[in-house]
Amino acid sequence: MYHKNMKKRNTLWMLFACLLTIAWSTSTAQTARITGVVTDAANNEPLIGASAFIEQLKTGEVTDAKGNFSIQNLPPGTYTVRFDYMGYESHSERVTLREGEVHRMKVQLQSESKSLSEVVVTAKSEARQLREQAMPISVISMNQLSGTVAGIADILSKTVGVTLRSSGGVGGATRLSVRGLEGKRIGFFIDETPMNDNSDFIDINDIPIDMIDRIEIYKGVVPAKFGGSAMGGAVNLVLKEYPARYADFSYTLESFNTHKVQTVLKRNLRNQGLVFGIGGGYTYSDNNYTMLSPYVDGLKIRRDHDGFRKLILGGSLKAYKWWFDKVEIEPAFALTNHEIQGIEKDIRKAETHSMLFALANKLEKKNFLTPGLDFDMHLAAAITSYGLVDTAKQWYDWDGRAYPSPSIYGGELGNRYASHSSDKKFTISHKLNLEYLLHKQHSLNFNSLFTLANGFPKDSLRELSIGREAVFNSRMRSWSAGLTYDFRTPKDRLLNSLTVRYYLYTMKTRQADIFGIGEVHDVDVNKSAVGVNDALRFRILPDLMAKLSAGYDVRIPSETELLGDGYTVSPAENLMPERNTSLNVGFLYDLTGRAASNLQIEVNAFYMYLQHMIRYTKGILGAQYQNFGEMRTMGVEAEVKADITPWLYGYANATFQDLRDVREHDEGSSLPNPTKGLRMPNIPYLMGNAGLEFHKENLFGGRGQNTRLFSDLSFVEEYLYDFEMAADQRRIPRSTTVDLGLEHSFFNNSLFLSAKIKNLTDARVLSEFNRPLPGRSFGVKVRYVFK
């Protein structure tokens, strides 16, 4: 059973109280500030959205509607401030700051014929430049979302072409879907570091929204510099570069007894060029919402066995004065416990637990060994443990009747065996990225990602239940390399990006048949594949551009798909890599930073043909990933965003994605495929979002206050749970949900108070595998930033 351990919770509260005390002492230090205005040298007009960036501290700001900027909380020292604006020459000035000083600058930029350098680090200019890449991409800047109750999943679910497939409340499995492709196909990255194989330990919802600078959603073509073998799309979370002295604390209370505590601390170690940071979060939830059974009409179930708790701690030590431009060491720790909630029957004891400890090292150097060559290397090692406890001697139906477990050793999940597993794994990953500027119009990028994974599963109780050895040690090696050539014309009218990738993976383990027959045999796999894609962007007008991208991409099976998980998923050595042929045609009209409306209009049409599709298949004694066959996707998506007035922002988007089974025959059979041409089940095909945000300074009087009121609407059309083979089909019904939120900040964005109502109309929402999701829920949040 899942128990509340008050002693542990008190210890955690004491930990955060200590961190808060350190934060307060940090905030009292006398810091300096740089303020100023950036204008056009020819006519003295203010430049809106120009970037002011301090190279030594990797921090900066953008100018407002009057060209003004302010960079705060700076430690004393001498720095180089660089100013950039698209269509203007870069300008740098060196300044020396004393404690408590306010340094004022007046900067005039000269217009130029060439485009802005690739190195742009502020939120607005970075987001605009990313949108203008050749590949289809959505960029969400988080500047306007600081302090909000919403999580990453809430934000992504409002993005055109993106859906989040959830199976429950807080801590429930969340599968990201981009244009209908989901799961391991969609890359999950944090600061361009692949996280897919660690998704059992660090979920996309675990990253505090206050720590994120922006979210990049790539569709179709994924940049080679990310490494790995994502196919069809990727999500990259870019974390904030905090000021040298910074502290941030927040507490969130939500429905179903959900509590979240998060904190970030950062401090500059005087003039030693060292910056120390620490952050963490603790989440606890009962997840005890009431749901209607999808299997028994009229049966109401109160979820009483879905408790979740998670602790995440991370640190960072950055050095800026060594030979490398930046050396960073990052330890991380995550601990999770989650009860297993029954849907078909009343599960009362089974639960999972996981632990991760990781240590990462990053090295960055511009002009590495030779001018024009930028070096970026990331090395990480992780030790993980993941286990299932399923030892109950009986199981229950929803009427309270008890039944004996299938095995004399226990087990209530219906797997025909008991389990008390501990699947340990040791992983090393090495990522190298080299960017070489051949000429201002030509550049090369080389990326290499090597991963080593050794698995050591153990489940003696399961082996007693089955009567033979069932889990085996394993080892996997994978290497992916990509080479990208970028070409752009002198006036940035045309940009073309051509990428070639190579994939290699090996696996050694032993395997027992998932149906419980046959002998245990050795598995030794060595496979390779090649992929290629090209993306082109043509600027028709200064603010209107067309995009065309095509690719033949490969996704090698993940560790879990190949090696299994040590307790319910068996190894699958015969898995073929997935192969996807894709085409995207789109148009982007973007006035961000160039007009008061900041209007953006984007339309994309896309096509994908997926071969050797991998899907999850259950057997009598376990489960396994298997190649399904072929699938074709055609679709179109459109989105409009704009500042309707200086105080009102609005957006609307819609996606149509038609995924069809195009197999001629069932896998491993010569018989005609009865579902050929039918729409793929359990995947939405029509969805849309819309929203309004009201924002105003000092709405209720006073000074240094900001108010945001927002409303979001999400619509998903009814879709099939199974292939449409008969008149009586299980369907996931149409859903329309409305969210409302309020955020108010005081003391120049130091104190944030937020509240949100999710699913205002209490609409019934079913998600992946017909699972009921929470109805109406509430959340409040308080956040304080020490400045």
Q: For 173-201, what is each residue's pLDDT tens digit?
A: 777 788 887 767 787 888 888 776 666 67
pLDDT at 484 over 80: yes
pTM recorded for the entire structure: 0.79
pLDDT at 491 over 80: no
User: 589-612: per-residue pLDDT in tens?
Assistant: 988 877 888 899 999 999 999 988
pLDDT at 142 over 90: no
pLDDT: which is higher, 752 or 561? 752
pLDDT at 14 over 50: no
**pLDDT given at position 10:** 47
**pLDDT given at position 448:** 93
**pLDDT given at position 602:** 92
**pLDDT given at position 250:** 92
Kindly report the backbone phi and psi dihedral angles of residue 749, in degrees, each rounded to the nearest multiple of 5, phi listed first.
65, 40
**pLDDT given at position 119:** 31
How much of the chain exceeds pLDDT 70, in percent?
85
pLDDT: which is higher, 557 or 15? 557
Among the listed ranges 326-330, 574-578, 717-721, which one has the minimum average pLDDT value?
A: 574-578
Most confident of 115-129, 615-629, 762-776: 762-776
Beta-carbon contacts of 125 under 8 Å, excluding residues fewer than 6 positions away, are 49, 50, 51, 62, 84, 85, 86, 116, 593
- Which of the four pLDDT bands, split at 50, 70 and 90, describes residue 77? confident
Among the listed ranges 113-127, 189-203, 608-622, 749-763, which one has the minimum average pLDDT value?
A: 113-127
Measure the CA–CA gap between 568 and 413, rounded to whole angstroms: 11
Mean pLDDT of 323-337: 92
**pLDDT given at position 20:** 45
Mean pLDDT of 147-156: 70
* Amino acid, res. 361: N
User: 645-674: per-residue pLDDT in tens?
Assistant: 989 999 999 999 999 999 888 766 788 888
* Amino acid, res. 273: G
How much of the chain exceeds pLDDT 90, in percent?
29
Evaluate whether 685 touches 719 at the Cβ level (below 8 Å). yes
pLDDT: which is higher, 695 or 112? 695
Helix (H, G, I), strand (E, B) or coil at 23: helix
User: 266-291: per-residue pLDDT in tens?
Assistant: 887 756 678 888 989 999 999 999 98
pLDDT: which is higher, 33 or 361? 361
Q: Which domains are delineated in the chain? A: 31-112 (2.60.40.1120), 239-786 (2.40.170.20)
β-pairing, 187-190 vs 232-239, is: parallel
Q: What angle do CA 43, 44, 46 make, to 5 degrees?
A: 120
Q: What is the mean pLDDT of the chain?
A: 81
**pLDDT given at position 353:** 92
**pLDDT given at position 3:** 45
User: 304-323: per-residue pLDDT in tens?
Assistant: 999 999 999 999 898 887 88
pLDDT: which is higher, 204 or 134? 204
Mean pLDDT of 216-224: 79
Maximum alpha-carbon separation in the chain: 85
Long-range contacts of 712-715 (CB under 8 A, 24+ apart): 712/158, 712/738, 712/739, 712/741, 713/689, 713/737, 713/738, 713/739, 714/157, 714/158, 714/687, 714/688, 714/689, 714/738, 714/739, 715/687, 715/688, 715/689
pLDDT at 24 over 70: no
**pLDDT given at position 612:** 86
Measure the CA–CA gap between 763 and 715, rounded to whole angstroms: 11
**pLDDT given at position 87:** 65
Mean pLDDT of 231-246: 78
- Which of the four pLDDT bands, split at 50, 70 and 90, describes residue 488? confident
**pLDDT given at position 112:** 59
Closest CA to 339 of 299, 399, 390: 390
**Tokens 């240094």 map to which residue?**
704
pLDDT at 729 over 70: no
**pLDDT given at position 299:** 87
pLDDT: which is higher, 176 or 127? 176
**pLDDT given at position 15:** 47
Kindly report the backbone phi and psi dihedral angles of residue 311, in degrees, each rounded to the nearest multiple of 5, phi listed first.
-120, 130
pLDDT at 90 over 90: no
Mean pLDDT of 258-268: 89
HSE-up (13 A, CA, CB side) for residue 41: 12
**pLDDT given at position 136:** 65
Closest CA to 161 of 605, 581, 561: 605
